[in-house]
Amino acid sequence: MINLETASDANLVVAIARWHEPALAEAYRRHGGAVHALARRVLRHEPPAEEITQEVFLDLWQHPEKFDPQRGTLRSFLLARTHGKSVDVIRSEESRKAREERTARETATAGYDVEHQVFDLVVADQVKESMAELPDDMRQPIELAYFGGHTYREVAVMLQAPEGTVKSRIRTGLTRLRASLAERGVEPAGVNL
């Protein structure tokens, strides 16, 4: 039996593939907070964010083979799945109306969330600083696409910029962000293929 506390993420996934429930619990403990926070950030609403969080871990339980360590870390994999699912939700027809009302609701329910705030204080500071350093024309498309769930074509309309320009700014912006984070000692995972 593996020692869950010291097991690598890869070992956890192998144990999950063997229906070892505590391994899934450990994966949830390690990454559930980030998954939930991302879903919450994109969906701006707790019930669907919780549903997506559950789906992401149930998917990992049913299909651990979809995680390919050569394509990045487990956290990155889970977050990419979370983002994809969240975006599907907000792009769905049923939610279109809700989406229109999102801003109003967001304002109405914007409360003080101390747990997030604590981390936002320090942890995310480097990320915030790096984001703030990006030129607006790169930062905005990234925020609108990632947190707003918009396609780059929608972003182009919103920012009144050519589509080709927007897509290349997203790409360049992400690359710059990575370099800027590295300068601050935040090394995103190295993926050497």
Interface with other proteins in residues 126-185 (CB under 8 A)? 126-128, 131, 142, 145-147, 149-153, 155, 164, 166-168, 170-175, 177-178, 181, 185
Contact 85, 56 (CB under 8 A): yes
Nearer to other proteins by C-beta: 6 or 160?
A: 6
Nearer to other proteins by C-beta: 14 or 98?
A: 14
Nearer to other proteins by C-beta: 18 or 105?
A: 18
Shortest separation between residue 36's beta carbon and other proteins, angstroms: 6
Gap between the Cα atoms of 122 and 128, Å rounded: 10
Q: Count H helices and E strands in the chain, helices first.
A: 11, 0
Shortest separation between residue 161's beta carbon and other proteins, angstroms: 13
Residue 99 interacts with other proteins (CB under 8 A): yes or no: no
Going by the DSSP 8-state scheme, the letter that residue 124 receives in this structure is T
Site string for other proteins, 52-91 (x = CB under 8 A): -xx--xx--xx-xxxxxxxxxx-xxx-xx--xx--x----
- DSSP calls for 6-46: T--HHHHHHHHHTT-HHHHHHHHHHHHHHHHHHHHHHH-SH
Judged by CB under 8 A, the number of residues near other proteins is 101
Gap between the Cα atoms of 114 and 161, Å rounded: 37
